[in-house]
Structure 1
Amino acid sequence: MVSAPRFEHLREPLGIGVASPRLSWKLAAPAGFEQSAYQIEAVRRGGRTQSEAAVSSEQLLVEWPFEPLVSRESAAVRVRVQDGDGEWSAWSPAATVEAGLLEPSEWSALPVGGAWAEDPDAERRPSLVRREFSLPDDVVGARLYVTAHGLAEVEINGRRIGQDALAPDWTVYGKRLTYRTYDVLDALRTGDNAIGAWLGDGWYRGRIGFHGGYPNLYGADLSLIAQLEMTHADGRRTTIATDEDWSAGFGPILRSNLYFGEHYDAREEIAGWSLPGFTGDGFSPVAVRSRDAATLVAPQGPPVRNTQIVSPVQVITSPSGATVLDFGQNLVGRLRIRVSGARGATVQLRHAEVMQDGEIYTRPLRGALATDRYTLRGAADSDTDHVEVWEPRFTFHGFRYAEITGWPGEFDASDVEALVYHSDMERTGWFESSDPLLDRLHENVVWGMRGNFVGLPTDCPQRDERLGWTGDIQVFAPTASFLYDCAGFLGGWLRDVEAEQLSDGTVPWYVPVIPGGSEWTPIRPGAVWGDVAVLTPWTLFERFGDRGVLATQYESAKRWVDLVDRLAGPSHLWNSGFQLGDWLDPAAPPEDPADAATDRYLVATAYFARSAQRLAETAVELGREDDAAHYGRLAAAIREAFAAEYVLESGELTSDAQTAYSLALEFGLFPTFEQREWAGGRLAELVAQAGNRIATGFAGTPLITDALTDSGHLRTAYDLLFEDECPSWLYTVKQGGTTIWERWDSLRPDGSVNPGGMTSFNHYALGAVADWMHRTIGGLTSVAPGYRRVRIAPRPDPRLTSAAVAHESPYGRISVSWRVVGGELAVDVVVPVGVTAEIALPGDEELVVAHGEHRFVVPFVSDSEHR
């Protein structure tokens, strides 16, 4: 009846960085059950049992009721609940949480790596590091705490530890470097042992940024930081930490770069290098560097892992004679090959998202070569069945197509497969309908998120950029929070946002910032992007019920709003300075994506009002009454100033454009009901005049379907969604897109690629419409934090005969499915324990239901036919 508890937002709470982790659990119970109390029991070190009970219906992010964990301490925790009659449930299964190294003083490991001279202006060959040690037969537990300056994969006695990739994630390394914890007892043996690691440049010292990037962003060294701790039967602990006793040497990776790719020469492999008894030929003492242990932090989200394998769907011979594999899906990851051939033969793998004129088209990648090379070791004369299997370790690519050259012998497409890599978040949201184009659009949104949640939320995964643009995730966070449990992932990234925020409150355009990259994007305030500091914590609160993220990010949010308040001054209008505005409005010329139909300062002031209001609401949630009153008054003053500057008496806006009306309608910026009504009609009229083609960029696209729906023009919202001529969502689908594009016409109607310098085929921001699809077509909306109370209100359109949506909320699976049959609308709803649902079906009275399975049948009345 009661699930095993979960700690914070982690599915794998080994090495957690919180001494008092909050607990959540889910319930399965018959109709009529209501939790009235809970009891939490923890078995801690030495078998000591603690128990605490509370009279409460809460089951989400409940405060840890015991004294805090100390470093390395584990606790087996279980929960039971009481119903309204005072009856206790059975105990849940126990779940174990274990603290990581919570104090800087717990670290003895130092960064170690190759001591040879490094050319800071060149791509350096990555190294291997290793050490041997001996153990008695009484080791009963072992933990490895590991991170790196660069990227690292650890082996113990020849066995890879974990399946994580591209670790550690890209964070603001100087202030926050994440480490992970592994249980490695099974990898150890009595007697001689060896530990070693592969190292790669990654984001730390590799070239990152625009047009080829900048090297040595955080340092020129490539170093492992690892602490292997073994517990003996008598409680003693032996520690093997990275120090001067380690050695380093070159391995078979000749070059590894996130943009350029990886070159691996199997002839350079060193047999047994991570096994005990290795002679050490080619290895020399390491150089020991320094690291402030206070900057080492446990991660809040999951690691990057291989989550899917995709086989090619077609082999193409290009006009130039090249062999090109089509995987049928634009994805993010890398290839794995199985190949046999002569020693020294080199297979080259080039990656691209699109083809043009029959060849892979790499111009949109700009300076990213996206090319991997594998040089074969070759078979011994007696080994006729020799097969070499390889995939890169320290790079990733965004691609649908792969060009294969240099393949020895006859090529078989089954010898190549694509491995999909992204942060291994739990999938929590699904959508389907009777329209296959809408379903494909939704799949495109899902794939776009997967490809851009690789350690941090990036704008694109393929070209020489791949940065954590703040505006992109700000507009997409509601959709992301439905599709995947990204609470820990985004909560951790928001800590980096605060770490990069300037003392005056400025939020950089992307986080982490590229040191030295200001020549391309100077750090200066910008609406939509900087508002991530206020709006994204609120989204996490709304969708995951996490009030803690509001508290953690509050000062950051406050500094942002206070900065804009100073910039706007007494007028309360943010009408100066550089702004991206409604970025990538489809009418904007390729060379100037900020040249939108909507005044960029109208956008800035509208967002100023939105963030001030959300900050006031955040203050209310946190019990900061004075701040709530102050920012509430500020929001009201901004709305008044906006209306005076941009709203004409009729309701017309000074920017008579789709984005302008969408912002003003959804942010509540019209002073009167009559003006709002007029503006809703004008927005619908503008959409119709454009032939139902989209005319919004990053600022307007997430809001326009809601603005139409909420102002009484649902039919027009559906018209916009179903349009398939450029620019539109379904245009990208009918053009064969399998992810969301950066530009509405990244691929033009004639099949040519948009000539703009920013033409990505995997950019999730414009996919924010999926949140409207979940709430309006599917009919599932959270109206209390964490989906504690939901509204079930599907609003069908005659062009659809069925739809279904499901979300694995913090309380359990909520699902809504509807079908129109014989003039009736049949709706099936599943509500989990702990959730209350408001049912609002077209043409029927509203009612409220508790958990359970419910079916409703009403005469089919389409809102969209009458608006």
Structure 2
Amino acid sequence: MKKTIASILTCAFFTVGHAQTSAGKLLLENLDNPAGIMEGQPRFSWQIQSKQRNTLQSAYEIKVSSGKNIVWSSGKVNTDSSVHVAYKGSPLVANEKYQWQVKVWDQNGKSAAWSAPASFQMGLMSPGDWKAQWIESGITEAPSRPSQLFRKSFSTGKKIKSATAYITSHGMYEAYLNGKRIGDAWLTPGWTSYNKRLQYQSYDVTHLLQQGANTVGAMLGNGWYRSVLGWNNNGNIYGKTLGLLMQINIEYADGSKDIVATDGSWKSETGSVTYSEIYNGETIDARKEKLNWNTNNHDDKSWAAVQVKNYPLTNIVTTVNEAVKKQESFKALKIITTPAGEKVIDFGQNLVGWVEMKVTGKAGDSVLLSHAEVLDKKGNFYTENLRAAKAQNKYILKGGSSETFHPYFTWQGFRYVKVEGYPGELKPEHFTAYALYSDMKPTGIFNSSDSLINQLQHNIQWGQKGNFLDVPTDCPQRDERLGWTGDAQAFSRTASFNMNVNNFFAKWMRDVEADQIDGLVPHVIPNALGKDGNSAGWADVATIVPWDMYIAYGDKRILATQYNSMKAFVESVRRTTKDDLWNTTWHFGDWLFYRPFDDNDGSSAVTDKHLIAQCFYAHSTQLLINTAKVLENTADVTTYTNLLQRIKAAFNKEYVTATGRLVSGTQTAYVLALQFDMLPENSRQQAADRLVENIKRYHNHLTTGFLGTPYLCHVLTRFGHSDLAYTLLMQDTYPSWLYPVKMGATTIWERWDGIKTDGSFQTPTMNSFNHYAYGAIGDWMYRKMVGLDTYEDGVGYKHIQVKPHIGGKFTHASASLQTYYGTLSNAWKKDSAQISMQVEIPANTRATIYIPGTDISKITESNAPLSSSKDIKVTGREDGYIVVETGSGKYSFAVKQ
């Protein structure tokens, strides 16, 4: 296929002239110059950079070296593959640093110069590479379970060439070398199914190590390991005792090596963090700080000896996803005195992270910061929707000069902060809010002529930022913050536009597999809630997310890695079915759908949960078939194709009347039946028409919940009703996407009416104001409204579709996406005279572009008739579009009205 694409484009389009082609933006395992690689055959990606239209790669050569030694040279490989190219050299060595370069040839056989070198470092690849021992505190723990300190002094007598620290813990850790913080990651080692998969992080600490005396230290907090998670005081899920595992691999200038590792020579104490829980917050008593405890200038004679533990190392894995880091900062917009007389800071944005406070006062002065997302209708501080979570940070001053406080092992979801006990005048400049989220690269930009829609996009992105904190959480503020599977699957494709979530989801999906119980998928991952699972639309995360990542990034490995998990889930459902109907287990259903207050016409939006389950059963089976085809597992293709036919036949027998009506006449029922092709082809258009009737019955409002909403506008567009999809998008009264925007939302709400029209709140026990699931409309905005998509014969935007659906009252809309190949973008404008499209296609790809119009003579490209372009091939007309094929480059189309 790849050679065919290259030859087609070369024959059809390429002109004689050459432009300089080069390779840049080198990635290994989707990361820039990463460390801690455990994968024996890591994958290389690069971008072809050229200003020439229709540029393709015809061949590449990769060389990998360690020092002056070349450890692998691929030789010239004739292919257009430039993404996820696997290493095929001799075995890579633990802790070793490597450099790599790539050279490419263009479609004319002309070679570019070698790229600038990139680097990667292998991690500790097996339990035998760990020389460190698990250590735990030797101090009897207080009931408040304060954070624990560990330290060791050591000496290096030679000139240091390089040093790498490998660290993990039971609980969260912060590590230091000679008083300096190691790395810029927070909430490490992240959250996984710890007993099966405990991540370690790798840090280059060469610049922190000094010849002579050194001190290494670490501070541990409860974190996800033993904080209460979920409800009913559900703590100590993974263990009761904090522990540290750390080693520093040192290489000296003379070639000799040394290791400093946790063992019985370390010492332990407690410090200023006297209490730390995820939901309740943190208490820091600066009077209890151990001065210079992580430097050479501290006497640790009173510290206790540590306890060495012989825990197995077989569950330890490297970190493949981006770490949580401090991101945007927010100054206090204003300080409010509420009607209740409280002092409240407004940061203007509902965010996830914490507040850093500067304060001067006397020893023992205490400041309490409480966090909230909204104010009530009277303007008072509102925390009832946090349920049992206190979400408070308390700081006790040591007195004297100015002090700075922020928490270490917790975070909050908030826009407003109530301040109590602050000594002196409360000033905005004393408070800065920092957002925390996984350090995924921003990839997508969307803009339009409508300011409310632009704010909706802002809210979608900030909902993702706030809840993509190492795992895809449902909400970040109340006593939950769990990796709910239904939310994640509904939003995963939208997420892949806004940020590069390839590694983020690859890591999380491994925990899905780790926590499956005989194939059954728990409701939350990591599983903090017990044995319940396999709810339709939640458990289907096992199949939906791997396939979404494959489509978005062309990442075949995630399919291979997750295939057993995908198959085990489908089999776990099959075992519970009767006559091929998944109607024997409990399901959440179309969670938080719109419930009309007036149901006199009997058109309630309640959708039969087992009808929903049957649709998702079919969808997961279809995705398993798709994956089996990609992996060339022909036996499974046959087996599950037969199963899928039976699933759909059972659906039509059980849930469809003789006249083609669904037994649940709701929007969600018709949306799912159409999205997943549950109905015979000759019945689908009439089902789509019934969906339209339903929407109009609700005065052009949606009634869908978590499972129907992501597909609603897609189905309307697919069946010729893009005008109604636009009407729903632009609806600004309840229920709609824009209603929260008009109510002042800066993130996506959990409920359509989290704040009612009279300013009162929905049920406080379930009313998050930062809950990204309904933000899945973003996927329609990016892929249908602006039209940026990828074909399945060239996943990961190797074969691109640009097909905008222009409508509504918009005069323009644009989107750009940073793909692995480069920038893909489209910007359309419409006025009475013409429709224009500015399109950019990255090098080493091809595109099928749909230009709105039916008369080729009225279309120009770069101010010349379309028919005269040598770089573009017109292939036909389709549904009101002129269809063209192009290669890379920038194109300016105009269609006269």
Name the TM-score, length of structure 2 as normaliser.
0.92
The answer as to whether partners of 1:355 and 1:361 remain within 8 angstroms in 2 is yes
Q: Which residue of structure 2 lines up, in the alignment, with residue 863 of structure 1?
A: none
Find the counterpart in structure 1 of residue 39 from structure 2: 18
Partner of 1:402: 417
CA contact (8 A) 2:133 2:308 kept: yes
Give 1:127's aligned amino acid.
Answer: Q
**Alignment of structure 1 residues 513-528 onto 2, 5 Å:** 513-514=527-528, 517-518=529-530, 522-528=531-537
**1:2, 1:669 → 2: CA distance?**
45
Partner Cα distance (2:287, 2:320) in 1:
40
Partner of 1:836: 846
1:800 is aligned, of 810, 830, 838, to 810
Q: Which amino acid aligns with 1:50?
A: W
Offset of residue 126 of structure 1? 1.1
Please name the residue that 1:474 is paired with: 489
The match for 1:494 is: 509
Give the whole-Å Cα distance in 2 for the aligned partners of 1:692 and 1:128: 60
Aligned equivalent of 1:368, options 385, 389, 392: 389
Three-state SS of the structure 2 residue aligned to 1:686 is helix
Say whether 1:774 aligns with 2:782. Answer: yes
On the 8 A contact 2:146/2:273 being kept in 1, the answer is yes
**Alignment partner, residue 685 of structure 1:** 693
Q: How does 1:709-858 map onto structure 2 within 5 Å?
A: 709-783=717-791, 784-843=794-853, 844-858=881-895
Deviation readout 1:570-590 (Å, 9 max, x if unpaired): x2111121111111112189x
CA distance in 1, matches of 2:70, 2:470: 38
Corresponding residue to 1:619 among 625, 628, 634: 628
What's the CA shift for 1:12? 4.4
**Residue 217 (1) aligns with residue 237 (2):** yes
Measure, in 1, the Cα distance between the counterparts of 2:574 and 2:885: 42
Matches within 5 A, 1:176-187: 176-187=197-208
The one of 321, 326, 338 aligned to 2:358 = 338
- The residue aligned with 2:80 is 57
Query: Given that residues 4 and 92 in structure 1 are in contact (C-alpha distance below 8 angstroms), is that contact kept between their aligned partners in structure 2?
Result: no
Distance 2:54 2:735 in 1: 50
Measured against aligned partners, the alpha-carbon deviations of 1:456-506 in whole angstroms (never above 9, x if no partner) come to 111111111111111110111000111111100100110000000012x10
1:391 corresponds to which letter in structure 2? H
Q: Equivalences for 1:581-730 in 2 at 5 Å?
A: 581-587=589-595, 597-673=606-682, 675-730=683-738
Q: 1:551 & 1:68 partners in 2: Cα distance?
A: 21
What's the secondary structure of 2:693's corresponding residue?
A: helix
Shift of 1:281: 5.0
1:351 aligns with 2:380: no
Contact 2:72 2:90 in 1 (8 A): no
Q: Check if 1:550 corresponds to 2:559.
A: yes
Q: Which residue of 1 aligns with 2:300?
A: 280
Further displaced range: 833-842 or 431-440: 833-842
For 2:472 and 2:150, locate their aligned partners in 1 and report how far apart those are by CA, in whole Å.
Answer: 31
Q: For residues 651-695 of structure 1, give each alpha carbon's deviation from its aligned partner in whole angstroms, at most 9, with x where no partner exists.
A: 32110000000001111111132x211111111111111122220
Deviation, structure 1 residue 185: 1.0
Q: Is the 8 A contact 1:255 1:264 kept in 2?
A: yes
Secondary structure, counterpart of 1:769 in structure 2: helix
1:319 to 320, 335, 339: 339
C-alpha deviation, 1:596, in angstroms: 5.9
Q: Deviation of residue 320 (structure 1)?
A: 2.3
The answer to whether the 8 A contact 1:108-1:241 is kept is yes
SS in 2 for 1:712: coil
**SS of the residue 1:399 aligns to:** strand
CA shift at 1:209, angstroms?
1.3
Amino acid corresponding to residue 549 of structure 1 in structure 2: I
Query: Any idea what SS the aligned residue of 1:274 has?
Result: coil
In structure 2, the residue matched to 1:199 is 220
Using the alignment, how far apart are the partners of 1:82 and 1:11 within structure 2?
23
Q: Residues 798-832 of structure 1, C-alpha deviation per residue, up to 9 Å, x if partnerless? A: 41000000100111110100111333110000001
Query: Which residue of the partner structure matches residue 6 of structure 2?
Result: none
* Aligned equivalent of 1:263: 283
Q: Secondary structure at the match of 1:9?
A: coil
Q: Distance in 1 between matches of 2:83 and 2:562?
A: 20
The aligned amino acid for 1:432 is N
2:429 matches 1:429: no
Letter in 2 for 1:762: N
SS in 1 for 2:203: strand
Conserved 8 A contact 2:71-2:89 = no
User: Paired residue for 2:3?
Assistant: none
Looking at structure 2, the residues matched to 8 and 19 of structure 1 have their Cα atoms a distance apart, in angstroms, of 11
- State the shift of 1:39 in Å: 0.3
Is 2:465 the partner of 1:450? yes
Query: What secondary structure does 1:846 align onto?
Result: strand
Structure 1, residues 373-429: CA drift from partner, whole Å, max 9, x if none?
Answer: 1111211xxxxxx32112111110000100011111111111101000000000001
**1:129 aligned to 2:137?**
no
Match status 1:31 vs 2:39: no
**2:594 counterpart of 1:580:** no
> How does the TM-score come out when normalised to structure 1?
0.95
Q: How do 1:61-140 residues align onto structure 2 when only pairs under 5 Å count?
A: 61-118=84-141, 122-140=143-161
User: Residue deviations 1:183-210, cap 9 Å, x none?
Assistant: 1111111111100011111000111112
Q: Which amino acid aligns with 1:33?
A: T
Aligned mates of 1:475, 1:148 — CA distance in 2 = 32
SS at match of 2:497: helix
Within-5 A mapping of 1:551-566: 551-566=560-575
**3-state secondary structure, aligned to 2:733:** coil
Mapped contact 1:640–1:671 kept (Cα < 8 A): no
Corresponding pairs, count: 838
Query: Separation in 1 of the partners of 2:306 and 2:765?
Result: 43
**C-alpha deviations, 1:610-654, integer Å up to 9, x for none?**
111110110000010110111112112211221122122333211
Is 1:512 matched up with 2:526? yes
**Cα root mean square deviation, aligned:** 1.4
SS in 2 for 1:819: strand
- Secondary structure at the residue paired with 1:36? strand
Contact 1:434 1:801 in 2 (8 A): yes
> Residue deviations 1:152-196, cap 9 Å, x none?
111111111111100011100001010011111111111111000
CA drift at 1:319: 1.8
Alpha-carbon distance between aligned partners in 2 of 1:250 and 1:118, rounded to the nearest angstrom: 9
> Would you say 1:144 and 2:162 are equivalent positions?
no
With over 3 angstroms needed to count, the CA separation of the structure-2 counterparts of 1:730 and 1:832, relative to structure 1, is: same
Q: Distance in 2 between matches of 1:586 and 1:147?
A: 45
Displacement after TM superposition at 1:10 (Å): 2.1
Tell me the alpha carbon deviations over residues 535-561 of structure 1, each in whole angstroms, 9 at most, x when there is no partner. 110001000100010000001100111
Q: Which runs of 5+ in 1 are unaligned?
A: 380-385, 590-594, 861-867
For the residue of structure 2 that corresponds to 1:612, the secondary structure is helix
Q: Is the 8 A contact 1:688 1:716 kept in 2?
A: no
Looking at structure 2, the residues matched to 49 and 257 of structure 1 have their Cα atoms a distance apart, in angstroms, of 48
Matched letter for residue 83 of structure 2: L
Contact 1:583 1:596 in 2 (8 A): no
